[in-house]
A and B are shown apart, each in its own frame.
Chain A
Amino acid sequence: GQQLNQSPQSMFIQEGEDVSMNCTSSSIFNTWLWYKQDPGEGPVLLIALYKAGELTSNGRLTAQFGITRKDSFLNISASIPSDVGIYFCAGRPRVDTGNQFYFGTGTSLTVIP
């Protein structure tokens, strides 16, 4: 199956700092999603991206669909303690009925107050 490389694997930052994480694939994706997962809960959708080069914001979060269509980036500005969790990227190789999303390995974010 498709491999998504997500980095960094974990981050420890001070409250107020900005955060950047990225996801790369070996093949072209047509859709990129970013999710956040809190312990014991399901992934919650943060941002969805559908076009190469697209830059989308959701509050303090900004994500970009890489121009090569093989990568995506998520930035969090001015981090706060509730940003703690695991962030997953997910990508779909083609737009078609039922085609699966492949998930990255996750970035664990710890925010130190």
Chain B
Amino acid sequence: EPEVTQTPSHQVTQMGQEVILRCVPISNHLYFYWYRQILGQKVEFLVSFYNNEISEKSEIFDDQFSVERPDGSNFTLKIRSTKLEDSAMYFCASSGGLYSNQPQHFGDGTRLSIL
């Protein structure tokens, strides 16, 4: 069964450094998402992306965050200047087909640790 893949599985970064998290969504999917989950808490929406542009973002997704689909397969999340509170699991998800109400399928996440 096709799946969403994320790399790296664990990223350790010094505070203030830039970090790029990578995702390969399911190949025929059209909608892409980033979520984060702080340890022990619920999954929180960051941003959704469709047709090469952001379609919705949460208040968490401030100017330090950006997303990009640099080619036909990758979907990236960049945090420009990381803060301690950015430490979390970051999940990429994608959903497919012509209708946006199709369910989202998640990757296994990247654990981001800011020192």
Contact = CB atoms under 8 A, between A and B. Distances in A.
Interface in A90-110: 90, 92, 95-106
Nearest to B43: A103
Contacts of B54: 98
A43 interface: yes
Contacts of B50: 97-98
Contacts, number: 70
A33 interface: yes
Nearest to B40: A106
B43 A88 contact: yes
Interface in A28-47: 30-31, 33, 35, 40-45
A59 interface: no
A48 interface: yes
22 contacts: A1-B58, A1-B59, A31-B101, A35-B106, A40-B108, A42-B4, A42-B109, A44-B106, A45-B103, A48-B102, A48-B103, A50-B101, A88-B42, A95-B101, A97-B55, A98-B100, A99-B55, A99-B100, A100-B56, A102-B45, A103-B43, A105-B42
**Size band of the A side of the interface?**
20 to 34
Nearest to A38: B108
B43 A43 contact: yes
A56 to B, nearest CB: 12
Contact of B108 (A42, A95, A100): A42
Contacts of A103: 35, 42-45
B67 to A, nearest CB: 12
A41 B109 contact: yes
A48 B99 CA distance: 14
Nearest to A6: B42
